[in-house]
Amino acid sequence: MTALKTRPAPDVRAPVTGLWRSVPGAVLVLVGALSPWASAVLPGGAYPDLATLQFFDAPYLATGFRLHLVLLGLAAFAPRASRPAGVSVIIVALVHTGFLTALGALSFGGPVALAGGALLAWLGRGQAAPEWKPPVRAVAWPVLVVAFVALLWLVSATLTAGGQSRATNPHGGAEFLAFLGFAVGLVGILSAYGVLAWLSALAERHRLFSITVLLACAMLLPLTEAGTGYWMTVASTIGVYAATAIGLNIVVGLAGLLDLGYVAFLGIGAFTAANLAHTVPFPIAALAGAATAGLLGVVVGAPTLRVRGDYLAIVTLAFGEIFFRAAQNDLGGLTGGANSMPGIPPITMFGLAFDRPVGGLPAGFLYYAVTVLMVAGAMAVLTNLKHSRTGRAWLAIREDEDVARAMGVRTGRAKILAFLVGATLAGLAGAVFAHKLGTVGYESFDFSESVTLLAAVILGGMGTVPGAVVGASLLFVLPEKLREFSDYRLMLFGLALILIMRFRPKGLVSS
């Protein structure tokens, strides 16, 4: 006898679903956004964006964090967007209410918005992102152009949010953190609706076009608000470490070889180029630095063939410490010891020094262009290797070296090749690093730098092509923007890293 199929009884305890779940929180966010946040005008001007704005007196004057909260509140009416919008509102509200509480000028706008954000985050229900069909090429290309231009705006706005120093903007730290919270919410909302996954698939489908447009957008950064000498210098430094992190991503992310002394290869390339800078042109010095670092990468990789895991980490840590102490003691007169190696000339090609402004572009633009091309080349190398037979061998070693060997993978050769390629990329980045700074010292290559590079790979996403770039950018932009907080800077930086790893355990750009 066949059992009758019955429908399950409805759960009367289920919370209110659909639009009504988000309406109360969204309304509170909008009310809080247009309410006074500060009880009085503070010294140095109104705490940012007319914080003493009276309740609904001038909603058209909503700017800065108020405008962000209004946009988030409106977006929160959509059920899929309520949870990411609520989390973003909580970040923005906590930042500004914390500052105003410390200054003793807190009004009711902040707590109301914070309550609305908490309600949205609590009642918001996570749903599977919808799948979008890829459009035809005539539509896909304009969509990709718009997406990458929007990414360029987001990068520029993140760099310039809050200004460059406390002297120019006494509340710059709060504005930067609030904008970062808004950016997190924006990305979360786009992800909830499947837009990011759709754009990623679209970019992969039109890879060559996407790479061309992305490279053009990167070159256009100096034409945005971030096109100052200060930010060009910061962006160039990020580019150097991003290229180095891509090399480490090959060793750690693809091959699964834990390297705790990787920054030594960056130093080898820098010192090699510094010693040759006065006698040979930059391209030759850069190639020499890359070749020297690659050769020593093979030397380091050979003894590691019979060690793995913690023992491999100890071997690479010992190599990094040996290099650091040798550079500190001016071994062979090649590193300058405690005096460093000053007076390294800037890159000069076609009679043009790269540390000078070009036309209407700021000083440092040419170094920025060099690092963009270097990062693009490193990403191309990583992409091709990842999808090659060698890349598949590295992935097999990462998952289980014994099984890979049993399946015929020549693990020893593959591991040495990983060290060779990763060290070569780091040596090339070191050569650019030396000419950009004009001086090279051993203190730039201590153990903490290796840990920072490893953290960039893990935070960005192990084995992913853009992951190392995203991780390096995060690790070097956040400390720079948090200088205003003085003693609390490292605490906030560490808290941000903890939150990222808590909610994105596979990295910001997962494989």
Digit-coded pLDDT (tens) for 26-52: 999 998 888 887 776 665 555 555 566
Residue 55 lies in a domain: yes
Q: Which helix (H) or strand (E) holds 490?
A: helix 489-503
Backbone conformation region of residue 56, classed left if phi is above 0, alpha if psi is from -120 to 50, else beta: left
- 434 and 471, same domain (yes or no): yes
Residue 431 belongs to domain spanning: 227-503
Residue 10 lies in a domain: no
Residue 213 lies in a domain: no
**Looking at the DSSP assignment, which residues form a beta bridge with residue 341?**
440
Predicted pLDDT at 110: 85
In the chain, which stretches have pLDDT less than 50? 1-16
C-alpha 17 chain-centroid distance = 36
Coil vs helix vs strand at 381: helix
- 169 and 302, same domain (yes or no): no
Residue 178 lies in a domain: yes
Digit-coded pLDDT (tens) for 196-231: 888 888 988 888 898 899 999 999 998 888 888 888
Residue 254 lies in a domain: yes
Residue 473 lies in a domain: yes
Residue 367 lies in a domain: yes
Tokens 């105003």 belong to 100
Closest CA to 421 of 379, 376, 381, 392: 381
Predicted pLDDT at 312: 85
Output the domain CATH number for residue 303. Answer: 1.10.3470
Number of domains in the chain: 2
Tokens 């003693």 belong to 487
The CA-CA-CA angle for residues 67, 69, 73, to 5°, reads 120
- 195 and 249, same domain (yes or no): no
- 443 and 319, same domain (yes or no): yes
- First-to-last C-alpha distance (Å) of the chain: 50
Backbone conformation region of residue 11, classed left if phi is above 0, alpha if psi is from -120 to 50, else beta: beta
Contact 460, 501 (CB under 8 A): no
- 397 and 475, same domain (yes or no): yes
- 300 and 195, same domain (yes or no): no
- 403 and 490, same domain (yes or no): yes
If one counts every other C-beta atom within 10 angstroms of the C-beta of residue 328, the result is 17
Kindly report the backbone phi and psi dihedral angles of residue 348, in degrees, each rounded to the nearest multiple of 5, phi listed first: -130, 120
Predicted pLDDT at 19: 61
CA distance 401 to 84: 40
Residue 217 lies in a domain: no
Tokens 């007319």 belong to 50
> By 3-state DSSP, what share of the chain in percent is helix, strand and coil, each rounded to 5?
70, 0, 30
CB under 8 Å to 77, separation ≥6 — which residues?
Answer: 19, 22, 23, 26
CA distance 48 to 50: 6
Q: Which helix (H) or strand (E) holds 118?
A: helix 109-123
